[in-house]
Amino acid sequence: MANPWPTAQAEVISESPLAIKNPKTWSHYHTYGGWGKFFQGLQQKKLLATRCTNAACGEKSLWLPPRCECVDCWHPTEWIEAPQSGEIVTWSLVKYPGELFRLPADTTLISVELEGVCTKLMSWLKDGKAEIGMKVKAVFNTDAPTNTILDLAWVPA
Amino acid sequence: MIRFGPGNLRIPKFERPVYVVAGGMTDFRKKYPEKNTCELVTEATRMAFEENDLKVSAEELRREVNWCVYSQFADHFGDQLLAASKVHDYLGFDPLGNIEVKTGGATGGSSVLAAAQAVASGYASCVPVVGWERMDEVPTKVGNSYIASAACKDFESELGWMYAAYYALMAQRYQYENEVPRETLAKIAIKNHGYARFSPYSQNPGEYTVEDVLNNDIVSDPLSVLECCVMSVGAATLVLADEETAYRLSDNPMKLSAICGGTHTLRTADRRNMPILLLPNETEETYKEYFNGRRHEWPGFSSFLASRMAAYLAYNMAGIHDPVEDFDILETHDAFTISDIQTYEDIGLRPYGRGREFIESGEAYHGAKLPTNMSGGLIGSMHAVGATGIFQIIELLWQLQGKWDKYHADPEIWTKYGKKKPDDFKSLQVDGCKKGCAISHAGTGSHVTCAVLEKP
Ligand SMILES: [Zn+2]
């Protein structure tokens, strides 16, 4: 018995030159592994950073985004709460966000400097107009969490 | 802080000299549905093999090939894993060995580096480097999402899904520290769109005024549309060989005296403060006054350590002391106007904080000290990502060979791509051009290569 032809037809975008549409819709699992603790920390309104536990290592700063291993010696790190207020190092408005952005256009991106942290965490400003040097404090999306970096934002302090 | 050990800053060397023999490319377009990827790479490769005044036929050159390097940035865009295998087969190079290289926007530069390593080590004697990108199969918004998946998916991409925004963060900080007039930034866009007018391959040529650029739609504050690179479709092929093979194939191959790579963290946020790595034309004295006022850190958001590292290695490898004096021509990875100024500093055209002077002094123009991006660059000509770093070195090759006119001025080439050669066409051949440099750049400075090509 012969197999039937496919039932779903591909939409033709152009006859000449021939181009068709291939629909693709599926979910991709995002595996956080050891970094999951950071995202779960946001739900407890904690900003969890990491620090190297190797006494012989020179790197004593907090890291945010966190790292489970120290970049300089590969020893395990420990989780330590970072300060929840800091200063805007730089900012930009996203005028034309890409397809997957869950916030509206014109959202303000910021990079934040926090005391004792050697990195400048990228995040977004939930309220107010950004300026370099502006003091900000962390706010957390706990009502309907996305479990992404968007669950952390900042407002003028 | 990044601390260098004794081995970390070893200057690379080639075990034997590496030459660039030939180059070819397609024209670059926003959409290119008439040709599939295999056809595009064949067109570029055929041009490299057949139209470079070689002493052997294309068929004879095919028989010289013993290794291939393929260059494509995003499998997402191509929607084809193992695309190199398909292209390699289509070009008829089976069963010779090949590798496909991936380092984001610097994929082209890194591919040339990989091919040079193969030739320099003796592993291979004749290596085509074939690069392409096809960015026209998804809407622009999805394309931006694809590109932003080359940011950190855990801590960055969700913040906008838009790479220009990540560059804009650096731009804001650079401007806070250095206060470059908007007019100076606009001049870079005007220059590169303008030079693109004289290239039949270019996708985004145009004659603009400072007002046009400044009043343009903002993509991500402060960058306007005319200050950003384009998304392209197209291909480029370069042929590398050892000295003996090179002179058997060509009367005027150019010597690739250095090509070196540097890197830095994918996330701009993770760049720790460190001492400035000095180039041969700088001393501690150069930066005695640098850290004051609004400048506290290096590389911070204002500088690219990856570019500095690549230039440090390549300059020392090729014996470059002062890039503005020693180079006759330069191709930068002008993805955005502001990142171009950052690059001028990273590669030592001016000390940190003074990059704007390179444009303001007029040195970057045709007929001046160091003509930069005569190709039209990424802003004016193309950014078919996997082809870009290769395209830059092809343009250098033709300039050094004194053959720029052959590949740009012939009205038939314009007609072939359905274009009309402009009535006010001007030759951008750089007279007496002996030594050139090309910078290939990825991410917000995650990978950078610096190539030095010169007359032997
Ligand atoms: Zn450590």
Residue B318: both structure tokens together: 């090729």
Q: What is the mean pLDDT of residues B246-274?
A: 97
Separation of alpha carbons B453 and B390, rounded Å: 13
Distance from the Cα of B443 to chain A's closest Cα (Å) equals: 15
Of B144, B148, B270, the CB nearest to A119: B270
Q: What is the DSSP letter of B269?
A: G
B347 vs B66: CA distance, rounded Å: 34
Nearest to B141 among A99, A123, A124 (CB): A99
Locate B342 and state its tokens: 């950052």
Provide the shortest C-alpha distance from residue B323 to chain A (in Å): 31
Whether A50 and chain B come into contact, CB under 8 Å, resolves to no
Q: In degrees, to the nearest 5, what angle opens at C-alpha B371 toward C-alphas B344 and B214?
A: 65
Q: How far apart are CA B141 and CA B161, in angstroms?
A: 9
What angle do helix axes B37-50 and B83-90 make, rounded to 10 degrees? 50
The answer to whether A10 contacts chain B (CB < 8 Å) is no
Q: Which residue of B has its CA nearest to A109?
A: B159
What's the rounded Cα separation, in Å, for the pair B306 and B440?
11
Q: Is residue B336 part of a domain?
A: no
pLDDT-derived band of residue B299, with 50, 70 and 90 as boundaries?
very high
- pLDDT for position A9: 84
B345 falls in which pLDDT band (50, 70, 90)? Answer: very high
Tokens 């003796």 correspond to: B122
Alpha-carbon distance of B79 to B138, in angstroms, equals 10
What is the chain A residue with the closest CA to B3?
Answer: A72
User: In chain B, how many domains are there?
Assistant: 1
For residues B329-353, average pLDDT: 97
> Shortest CB distance from B160 goes to which of A14, A101, A119?
A101
pLDDT over 90 at B150, yes or no = yes
Which tokens sit at B35?
């040709």
Residue B186 near residue B354 (C-beta atoms within 8 A): no
Contact indicator for B107, B385 with CB cutoff of 8 Å:
yes
Residue B230 pLDDT greater than 90, yes or no: no
Work out the number of other CB atoms within 10 angstroms of the CB of residue B329. 25
Do B145 and A19 lie within an 8 Å CB cutoff?
no
Residues 6 or more apart from A21 whose CB is under 8 A from it? A10, A11, A12, A13
Nearest to A90 among B153, B218, B301 (CB): B301
Q: What whole-number distance in Å separates Cα of residue B166 and Cα of residue B152?
A: 11
Of B145, B152, B173, the CB nearest to A99: B145
Given CB atoms, is A28 within the 8 Å cutoff of chain B? no
* Helices (H), ranges, B256-384: 305-318, 323-326, 337-346, 356-360
What's the gap in Å between A117 CA and the centre of ligand 1?
Answer: 15
CB contact residues (below 8 A), chain A span 58-97, against chain B: 58-59, 61, 63, 65, 89-97
Rg (alpha carbons) of chain A, rounded to whole number: 22
Distance (angstroms) between ligand 1 centre and the Cα of A76 equals 8
Per DSSP, B372 falls in state B
pLDDT average, residue stretch B129-136: 97
Is 90 exceeded by the pLDDT of residue B220?
A: no
Segment A58-111, tens digit of pLDDT: 999 999 999 999 999 999 999 999 999 999 999 999 989 999 999 999 999 999
pLDDT at A126: 98
Res. A145: pLDDT tops 90: yes
Q: How many residues in total does chain A contain?
A: 157
Residues B145, A17: C-beta atoms closer than 8 Å: no
Is B78 contained in some domain?
Answer: yes
Do A98 and B153 count as a contact with CB atoms less than 8 A apart?
A: no
Instruction: Check the CA dihedral B197-B190-B396-B27 and report its sign.
Output: negative
In percent, the amount of chain B with pLDDT more than 90 equals: 96
Domain of B130 in residue numbering reads as 18-138+232-249
CB of B167 within 8 A of CB of A109?
A: no
B141 has a chain A CB within 8 A of its CB = yes
Residue B11: both structure tokens together: 């200057």
Q: Are B378 and B163 a contacting pair, CB within 8 Å?
A: no
* pLDDT at position A64: 97
Cα(A56) to ligand 1 centroid in Å equals: 8
Q: Domain locations in chain A? A: 34-156
* CA–CA gap between residue A61 and residue B289 (Å, rounded): 27
Question: Which CATH number is B125's domain given?
Answer: 3.40.47.10
Please list, in sequence order, all residues whose beta carbon lies within 8 angstroms of the beta carbon of residue B69, skipping any fewer than 6 positions away. B98, B99, B100, B101, B111, B112, B114, B115, B118, B127, B128, B129, B130
Q: Which residue has the higher pLDDT, B425 or B1?
A: B425
The answer to pTM > 0.90 is yes
Residues of B in contact with A100 (CB under 8 A): 145, 157-158, 161
Nearest CA in chain A to B274: A118
Mutate to test the interface with A, among B147, B172, B224, B264 (most CBs of A within 10 A): B172
Q: Is pLDDT at B221 greater than 80 in this prediction?
A: no
- CA-nearest of B208, B207, B206, B79 to B135 is B79
* Chain A neighbors of B176, CB-CB under 8 A: 90, 132
**Residue with tokens 């900000």, as numbered in its chain:** A136
